[in-house]
Structure 1
């Protein structure tokens, strides 16, 4: 769907929602790229040292992995992949490394592991926790198209329901990316990231890659298992993405998913014992939220010296729907917004946008479209994307407009390719796929689809709300994942956790 539904926080584990591309499921030819022939099999030596800005007492170590910018030219220019690890605490029973990708695409795995390592203390006993910034992200030659002020203005206005304005916004953004980051844009696709994982595995000294991927990280992990099945170890893919689903169909599915999550949020709000400050009924609460957003559409507000638009408010609502734990924050932000205080809505939108306390931004919102457009040949235009938005406006007046962002690849300066969208992982060890029944960002229907494509996979289902299952304080899911990663015990087929 649109880029607007990507960033996410999973119960203390910051993850980033996915997205893929296109209009409907795409049949991909089963041609496997011979990644092994373009990868130097001799492992490089990693120089682990202190992490910039992080006290040594936190227990983290950082290093840089060198990989070819272009795997077709393995002896040519290289790019540095920033790594972070927290060594296993039970060294006597150490299994090896567990590599994480927390999603995006475009999320910083280094920053996320700094913040979220404590959530994985059980796994950290026997694994070195390892994460990284994928190529084109933050510390790994991060893509920066706009400066902070320009990006803030862009995020406050895009997407637009006006075709001319939306075309202008996307075109100018794409031109800025070409001008400021054009050198790396052709090489940031998921196929190259999977190859980077293989170089990383060898450098870490592991015979097989043990991996835990969330959201977009499920696509990366599935593609690695397809390209390097014999080197795939214990792999868990949480909040599964189906890479064969097209861009416009993804937009439709996600808009419906967010609308359902929003309705569930309103229902929970009005059922609170002390009542819902937005309204006594779901209809009344919804009307109050729509009135707030419509008012901002007509007359943007201010929070300090920053503008708060209807787009900012929509982004704030979407951000909070990724996790049920954020629903109280959303209620407070909306209640205050109705009284003229937009600080809470702005804070939620900033979390989505990757804005830092000093006013700068991570590369998330710039890396994300670059990776998405590298990963598909589909190029739906603005008219096609806004047609989807109009189709869904009555059903989902808050989120329908986000479909317009699906047109970004139509103006992107480099072509994409479809190899990354073929998944089979034939010959790989068992893979555990996890899906949540009411996940708005990666709808549950994608989890069984990915499980089927992976051949050797088993599906674990969590009946619940939000994006992400592991770490949501559900013992059934956590035990299943921990038992597999730590002991190699494959969950029973069709396991359902309530």
Structure 2
């Protein structure tokens, strides 16, 4: 459920190759720029009031320092909230000050889990409208276990290279044994290299950190924009601290009631739908689509390209474009329809035996650079997801799921099916009790869903809005992951009017 942060780097990377086309893609991000009548949140609650035993954390002052023109600080929180006098960890925070008189802070999270909130805030001019940036300090934080906060570490960069490039659809007993061994080594590495932190990177604990951050920022209630997995984090916060909920926008909702198998199945279906939409666009808008004359033929061509790479990886410098990397290279630009042009370039060149563009897309998904990995998102997503829900299908039972997954996604089904075994190697164990998320008593929470969202299917946003006692659903009819800031003025205005004025959109607003 990665958000657009990695995709931004993809676009920048391709600017030289695609020139004006990619520049136009860049211009399409960011919300509207309407005129608003700002209304402050109520301030009748003591922002520093703390749960028993946590007073020293809620009373801390953030010491801001300059970091490339923005403000940076570190927040201190307990590793284990059940033992507040025990070991402490730090949370990296970045603030982009408001351009005008601030209503307060808007805390943001880009998803993942594992995405960097500090990078999200740093790119606020790209992600959020001028109106939002005028009225709010945009504040991002790297959730515990991620980025520049006290971080999860599982393997060396070379080992992570091998893990990401691994066979996504093993077939022979030897191939299955190799993939299973790599998974076990990865899980054991997280525990060995991260220590007790591996037991304390749950979404519930990250939500508790967010309330400590709210207090340190001096806000009585939380204003928050969360995308993708950030909607789960925001909904969890609302369940834990309903009286502290100010104006929350959850874009690309996660259905927090689903088990991991159902989530994987529905994501497989979502990415197949997105791939078909991409191919249809190619067929409908070009004189002769390089993939074929109709959608089914185009899908078959994409699958043939992936199968060929799986059978015979393409040499790219001193590396190889493997089947695993090709999968990431294809799904990355499916997150936003504006980036389909990048996928066409990558597939066309791969057809000709050049895997450079597809490998670069895969690297951006994994945050891999020429100098190694720029963050630990690939490790954090494993540790956090598996701590939240350690359920896993035994490796020997994965083939039992092939039929339903291939029906949902003929192209990607087996990749997602094999992913069901991933958490079997996790060593993390949380002491947090599972939550039934209702957020009773919270102010209205706006959930934005996109009808053909591949990563967080529209039905998830519908379900989340229904599960939240005060949920309000705003729907965008369109392609790509999440709905705000992708050119739909109706969605942008609804979100911005709510955040700035407090005007709640009509439940069921369709854009």
Give the TM-score taking structure 1 as reference length: 0.89
CA distance in 2, matches of 1:78, 1:468: 34
Aligned to 2:392: 379
1:140 aligns with 2:149: yes
1:130 aligns with 2:139: yes
* CA distance in structure 1 between the aligned counterparts of 2:64 and 2:371, rounded to whole angstroms: 28
What's the counterpart of residue 36 of structure 1? 51
Residues 477 and 148 (structure 1), Cα distance of their counterparts in 2 relative to 1, 3 Å cut: same
Check the 8 A contact 1:38/1:71 in 2, yes or no.
no
The equivalent of 1:99 in structure 2 is 107
User: Contact conserved, 1:145 with 1:177, CA < 8 A, in 2?
Assistant: yes
Please say if 1:228 is aligned against 2:241. yes
CA distance in 2, matches of 1:166, 1:7: 27
Structure 2 CA distance for partners of 1:125 and 1:420, relative to 1, 3 Å:
farther
Query: Are positions 1:494 and 2:508 aligned together?
Result: yes
Unmatched tracts of structure 1, length 5 or more = 16-34
Residue 391 of structure 1 pairs with residue 404 of structure 2: yes
- Seen in structure 2, the aligned counterparts of structure 1 residues 312 and 118 have a Cα distance that, compared at 3 Å, is closer
Alignment partners' CA distance in 2, 1:297 and 1:118: 36
How far, CA to CA, are the matches of 1:377 and 1:111 in structure 2? 28
1:78 aligned to 2:88? yes
Supply the distance in 1 between the matched residues of 2:80 and 2:296 (Cα, whole angstroms): 54
CA apart distance, 1:36: 3.2
C-alpha distance in 2 between matches for 1:397 and 1:38: 53
Residue matched to 2:40: none
Query: How many angstroms apart in 2 are the aligned matches of 1:104 and 1:384?
Result: 27
Residue by residue over 1:78-106, the C-alpha shift from the partner in whole angstroms, topping out at 9 and shown as x without a partner, is: 11100000111112xx2100000110001
Which residue of the partner structure matches residue 212 of structure 2?
199
Corresponding residue for 1:295?
308
Please give the residue correspondences for 1:458-469 in structure 2 after superposition, counting only pairs within 5 Å: 458-469=472-483
Residue 433 of structure 1 is aligned with which of 444, 447, 452? 447
- Identify if the C-alpha distance between structure 1 residues 38 and 473 changes in structure 2 by more than 3 Å, giving closer, same or farther: farther
Cα 1:308–1:124 shift into 2, 3 Å: same
Aligned partners of 1:356, 1:225: CA distance in 2, in Å?
Answer: 36
Q: Name the structure 2 match of 1:187.
A: 200
- Between stretches 177-186 and 75-84, larger displacement belongs to 177-186
The 5 A counterparts of 1:7-86 are: 8=4, 9=7, 36-37=51-52, 39-40=54-55, 42-51=58-67, 54=68, 56=69, 60-86=70-96
CA distance in 2, matches of 1:251, 1:119: 27
CA contact (8 A) 2:271 2:334 kept: yes
Task: Name the counterpart of 1:28.
Answer: none
* Greater displacement, 165-174 / 184-193: 165-174
The 2-side partners of 1:329 and 1:377 are apart by 35
Question: What is the match of residue 428 of structure 2?
Answer: 414
Q: Which residue of 1 aligns with 2:16?
A: none
Counterpart in the other structure of 1:252:
265
Tell me whether 307-316 or 381-390 shows the greater mean CA deviation.
Answer: 381-390
Deviation at residue 448 of structure 1 after TM alignment: 1.6
Counterparts of 1:105 and 1:420, CA distance in 2:
18
For the 8 Å contact 1:223–1:420, the answer to whether it is kept is: no
1:104-183 equivalences under 5 Å are: 104-120=112-128, 121-162=130-171, 163-183=176-196
1:343 aligns with 2:351: no
Q: Give the C-alpha shift of residue 117 in structure 1.
A: 3.4
Between the aligned partners of 2:209 and 2:399, the Cα distance in structure 1 is 36
Equivalent residue for 1:32?
Answer: none
On the 8 A contact 2:29/2:487 being kept in 1, the answer is no
**Cα-Cα RMSD:** 2.0
Q: Distance in 1 between matches of 2:163 and 2:321?
A: 12
Task: Tell me how far 1:76 sits from its aligned partner.
Answer: 1.6
Counterpart CA distance in 1 for 2:288 and 2:63 is 56
Residues 252-303 of structure 1 show CA distances to partners (whole Å, capped at 9, x for unaligned) of 1110111111111111111123331222222332232222211111111111
Q: CA deviation at 1:159?
A: 3.0
Contact 1:14/1:112 (<8 A) preserved: no
Offset, 1:131? 0.3
Selected match of 1:366 from 379, 382, 385: 379
Moved more, 394-403 or 238-247: 394-403
Residue 194 and residue 427 in structure 1: after superposition, are their counterparts in 2 closer, same or farther (change >3 A)?
same
Aligned-pair CA distance for 1:44: 0.6
User: Aligned with 1:192: secondary structure?
Assistant: helix
Q: How does 1:202-213 map to 2 (within 5 A)?
A: 202-213=215-226
Query: How far apart, CA to CA, are the structure 1 residues paired with 2:354 and 2:388?
Result: 40
Cα distance, 1:104–1:490 mapped onto 2, change above 3 Å = same
Aligned residues: 466
Q: Does 1:87 align with 2:101?
A: no
